[in-house]
Structure 1
């Protein structure tokens, strides 16, 4: 599992940072990619990455500001022009359906694949055998969400050496035991797979925030996650300006990560006033409070 940052700037692109988009690489887990936000120019950034649009399974939009959605019509169309026929699901706040359908209809665009658009409400938005995704509201002037992604716990390792020592032959039986089944042997014994499994492997968790000023919901969203991805639009001394526009500072973001018990913090969504050298100062402000802070840059890849 990897996080690939396609755009790490705020509001407008700069020479060093495009506007918001990141991708969760789930090729190993489900042979697909999940995208979070799709600002203008996102599909150009994809060309410089390992991401394949044909394997894009889901897109999650945090809010409807242009720097988070203006890349959607072009990306959806390019996926179609590449001949993809695999379904794509798009999740976002109310209004996302009208935006996408209007842009595609007025431009005479067509899609070669089924596109399902789900306008979300607070609560679970995706749940299957592998992952649960929950959306919670944030504070940003317009409706904005953060997404909490939790991987299902994996069964523990099967103790094959113990099974062999007890005269249980390797083969298809081992697969059934690893699934926790009860298996009847030829000698009359009944073996419970759970008795031969090690401790379950806890699933990974992450919180991906939309734009927001500090809120109580943020603490719930990030509680004990392995990785927290959060905006740090402005430096600590500019809290009043940041909060008045529905954004957070370095200090506020780091304090949230510490209070939530997050294991790692990745900061992103930097104002264009900060070039690459000045961005290092923002990282330092976070690390003073939360040492496990890392700074995202365009096309950076983080392994979970």
Structure 2
């Protein structure tokens, strides 16, 4: 599984960080999924290998502008480029009204259908051939969700000794079994794929959190999760000065939770625009990492725009060079 940060700033962009957007895929850019779509997301995409023509679904965590204002631009641009494939938009109900209003009042139209799915439905579950997605309610000023992405249809390996013992000769039946299909032989025997194949590895799982001041809400979902991507808008001293109203997490809060949940990989994002990236800048963004490292002993990453990470099949998270 791979993911690329299209924006890592909270609220407003900076010279080096756009507002929130994340591209995620199982393997390579076809197909891919977009989580949140702040203003300028389509411009950020132009500097990546992801195409709106291959976009399978958009997942919106909540309705704040730095997470949705890029939607009308991206959707209408995809139409102008000739997209015809339907697009799923998983989002709070207000997002549909927002998109409809912009299209209606800007003399715009789309060349493809949108399929809106309510992210706040109590039985929410979405899947395609590559991913199964659930979500978790978070604590923010408006309804907000974290999305849990788990890969589906893992590659199978044949139990060749069992096939030989049952005198099932190599041929098309083997291929169908390896694809997860049950097979009816000419002699009337029904071969079940689960009996003649096994899945040799663990399904990879990533949580992409929205805005949230209570990381502990992800405790149950974190079991069996290999990467948590979560906001760390402030260091704790700034969070204390700002007060509780914004309902964001500090690096300290998230790190303490990740350590208690035994999460192996933590990627922090959604940083307040007050944090500087230039040498000598103050407050400096590295203070967020320094604070988190005081409380977390796993693999910690501080996201930058256009950083690309790959969660390998052996469950190691690597930042890819050249991205």
Tell me the TM-score normalised to structure 2 length: 0.84
Q: Is the 8 A contact 1:254 1:286 kept in 2?
A: yes
Q: Bigger shift: 177-186 or 234-243?
A: 177-186
> Which residue is 1:23 aligned to?
23
Deviation at 1:42, TM superposition (A): 0.5
Cα distance in 1, alignment partners of residues 104 and 289 from structure 2: 43
- Specify the alignment match of 1:284 in structure 2: 290
| Partner residue in 2 for 1:294 | 301
1:202 counterpart = 2:202: yes
SS, match of residue 112 in structure 2: coil
Aligned with 1:37: secondary structure? Answer: strand
Distance (whole Å) between structure 2 residues aligned to residue 2 and residue 264 of structure 1 = 14
Q: Is the 8 A contact 1:16 1:275 kept in 2?
A: no
Q: Which residue of 2 aligns with 1:271?
A: 272
Q: Distance in 2 between matches of 1:193 and 1:267?
A: 41
Which structure shows the bigger proportion of residues in helix conformation?
A: 1
Task: Find the residue that maps to 2:212 and give its secondary structure.
Answer: coil
Q: Which runs of no fewer than 5 residues in structure 2 stay unpaired?
A: 312-323
1:259 aligned to 2:260?
Answer: yes
Alpha-carbon contact 2:129-2:153 (below 8 Å) kept: no
Note the alpha carbon deviations across 1:187-220, whole angstroms, 9 max, x for none.
x988665454345532111111111101542223
SS across alignment from 1:143: coil
Change (3 A) 1:265 1:250: same
Deviation at 1:21, TM superposition (A): 0.3
Q: CA, structure 1 residues 20+184, in 2 after alignment: closer, same or farther (shift >3 Å)?
A: same
Distance 2:239 2:149 in 1: 28
CA 141–281 in structure 1, closer or farther in 2 if over 3 Å, else same: same
Note the alpha carbon deviations across 1:226-263, whole angstroms, 9 max, x for none: 11110000012233336431100001111121223322
Higher mean C-alpha deviation, range 13-22 or range 287-296: 287-296
Map Cα deviations across residues 75-96 of structure 1 (whole Å, 9 max, x no partner): 1110001011011111111311
CA distance 1:257–1:153, shift in 2 (3 Å): farther
| Equivalent residues of 2:56, 2:87 under 8 A apart | yes
Q: Deviations over 1:238-292 (max 9, x none)?
A: 3333643110000111112122332211110011111225222211222232231
Contact 2:57/2:87 (<8 A) preserved: yes
* Distance verdict in 2 for CA 1:97–1:192, change over 3 Å: closer
1:170 alignment counterpart: 170
Paired residue total = 302
**What does residue 250 of structure 2 align with?**
249
Which stretch of the first structure deviates more once superposed, 165-174 or 95-104? 165-174
Alignment RMSD: 2.5
Query: Is 2:310 the partner of 1:303?
Result: yes
CA 1:191 to 1:125, structure 2 compared with 1: closer, same or farther past 3 Å?
Answer: closer
Query: 1:33 aligns to what?
Result: 32
The alpha carbon displacement at 1:161 in A equals 6.8
Equivalences for 1:83-122 in 2 at 5 Å?
83-121=82-120, 122=122
